[in-house]
Amino acid sequence: MIRETETNPYSNVHKLHVLPSSSALVCVSHGCLYRTVLVSQVMFFFMNPIEKWHARRRFPWKLLLQIFKIVVVTAQVSSLPLLIEICNTISKIFIEKEH
């Protein structure tokens, strides 16, 4: 758990806030908490989807959606030559019937 001390420049009263995750004493007035939060955000930004899944305990549904889109596009690209061949054979049949 992180303990955050907040000082008011106009009084001698210190407020103590308890934040989860570490037992380190963090001073807000010097920007230590800001640096700690920024470092954790940058580390999270550069994680792969599986590490984010373990960190947040949330299923990576966006990754699943991207994989599904790749499968659909691959199927479409694979079926395109077959469709072109079918169209060509149908057009040849119609052309032969006209003559």
> How confident is the model over 19-58, as pLDDT tens digits?
455 544 455 555 678 888 888 889 988 988 888 888 888 8
Contact 32, 6 (CB under 8 A): no
Share of the chain above pLDDT 90, in %: 16
Domain locations along the chain: 1-46, 61-99
Label residue 72 exposed, middle or buried (CB < 10 Å: 0-12, 13-18, 19+).
exposed
What global pTM score does this model have? 0.46
Residue 62 phi, psi dihedral angles, 5° rounding? -65, -40
78-98 core/surface letters (b: 16 or more CB in 10 A; e: else): eeeeeeeeeeeeeeeeeeeee
